[in-house]
Amino acid sequence: MAVSVTHPGVYVEETYSLGMSVQSRPTAVTAFVGDFAGVPTGGVRVNDWANFAKLGNADGGAGADTGLGPVLKSYFQNGGGYCYLVSTAGSALTEALEALTALGDVTIVAAPGLWDQGAQTAGEWARALTGWAAENKAMAILHTDRDHTADQAATAVDAWNLDQYARGCAAVYLPWLKPGADAEPIAPSGAVAGAWTTLDNARGVWKAPANITLHGIDSPLHPTTDAVQGAHRNLNFIRTFPDRGTLIWGARTLLDADEWRYIPIRRLANTVERDIQQALRLVVFESNTTPTWEMVRSAVDNYLHSLWRQGALMGKTPREAYFVQVGQGVTMTQDDIAAGRLIVKAGLAALRPAEFIILEFTQEMTQS
């Protein structure tokens, strides 16, 4: 109600509007987990390579030239943004995972020293990291051991015995990389995470993170052939091609199922779920009635429409690209409403990468 102004003075008019929108949050925030001396268990944010080098000089253990240093350097060389270091030095892995959750914005988790303590520990870490990723709408970038052949890598990954759902939240890369002629080989997880960040910023989280040139890398430690890669489709190889340099040549998760086979589909779904979930916190304790439902539907629809316009979804029209449903008799029963449950359903027509490009040629023969 408008305030009636009758004389000089201070007047108060109360207004209230529950506006709602779904905001896009960062899609590529990486946390590196490992036994990093001098790094607190709760995690430390690193904004760039200079920031890390200064940290390494100060703590006496996270040196820029040894251990984590070369891996993190490859991360920043390939476009990585701010990231976190979370240490298990003097603490259990479970504490480090709790720290990841507390950070709140981590979407990618990697362990450069995954194989430092042997195959059994690598398996324990792989299960823990992929389990955390699955629970927190994130992805785990994993890698094989330094001298693994493709067959050995596949056997080792199978031995991890990952949960079926968690396999869709993990991507494995091989081989290790040579950053220079005289440099020690490094795990590929840093360079890959940096490349993911670059691609997200340039194209979007829905673009397959493959066919990307890696910077600061001389070559893979071991060469790979088409036949070898064809026999291990759920492993993502890093390969060198003539006149093109060293490329990420694969975009698959460890789950060989249509829904979550490809990294960009899983990551897009994670992103949408995180963004919508964050927005819906605004309506907790609001009336579970038609006005609230319409506000939610409109906000989610606008968000998905924006993704479609950016090219994240298939379909010539919004109707073909996505749907949003909410309401009594649609997504909720009267019992749901009485129990305080507001249920929203959203469907996406996600883009699948053109992994196999097939050319067909027909030669017309001249008739005599």
Q: What is the mean pLDDT of the chain?
A: 91
Helix (H, G, I), strand (E, B) or coil at 264: helix
Q: Where are the domains of the chain?
A: 1-18+288-368, 30-264
pTM of the model: 0.91
Q: What is the pLDDT of residue 98?
A: 96
pLDDT category of residue 4 using cuts at 50, 70 and 90: confident
pLDDT at site 355: 75
- DSSP secondary structure of 53-97: HHHHHHHSSS-SSSTHHHHHHHHHHTT--SEEEEE-TTS-HHHHH
Nearest to 139 by CA among 87, 196, 70: 196
Please state, for a pLDDT cut of 90, what percent of the chain lies above it.
78
pLDDT tens for 312-349 read 999 999 999 999 999 999 999 999 999 999 999 999 99
Q: How confident is the model at residue 60 (pLDDT cuts 50, 70, 90)?
A: very low
Q: Over 70: is that where the pLDDT of 153 sits?
A: yes
Q: Distance between CA atoms of 48 and 81, rounded to whole angstroms? A: 7
At residue 150, what are phi and psi to the nearest 5 degrees?
-60, -40
Both tokens of residue 145?
Answer: 């051991």
